[in-house]
Amino acid sequence: MKLVQSILTKNDCYKSGRKITVKGLMLHSVGCSQPNASVFVKNWNRSGLEACVHGFIDGNTGTVYQTLPWNHRGWHAGGAANNTHIGVEMCEPACIKYT
């Protein structure tokens, strides 16, 4: 597995600096056919967003882009899961069709 650190230092979530004790991992689908994790990394590295995850898995290469330190509190889940879980988005290839 290739891991590329691409910390979202301009994202308000990162700037808040809140920490967690990690108890689990939550995988999400990005919900659209965009396989390139670098597209998300580029677009999420700014202030004004109300979402932030710990990483993205590239749909073409499997490369993991780490976007928050593992012990930072993300903004990726409802309820209390942001306080306990690492959130990782799985990018999906263009061949995926949504209905």
CA proximity to 89, closest of 54, 47, 38? 54
Residue 80's CATH number: 3.40.80.10
The single residue listed with the structure tokens 């920490």 is: 19
pTM equals 0.92
pLDDT in tens, 55-94: 999 999 999 999 999 999 999 998 899 999 999 999 998 7
Strands of the sheet with 55-57, listed across from one edge: 3-5, 64-66, 55-57, 85-90, 24-29
Mean pLDDT score across all residues of the chain: 95
Name the domain count of the chain: 1
Judge whether 35 lies within some domain: yes
Q: pLDDT band at 32, cuts 50/70/90? A: confident
Judge whether 98 lies within some domain: no
Judge whether 95 lies within some domain: no
Judge whether 52 lies within some domain: yes
Percent of the chain with pLDDT over 90: 87
Stretch 31-42: mean pLDDT: 93
Judge whether 59 lies within some domain: yes
Domain containing 13 equals 3-90
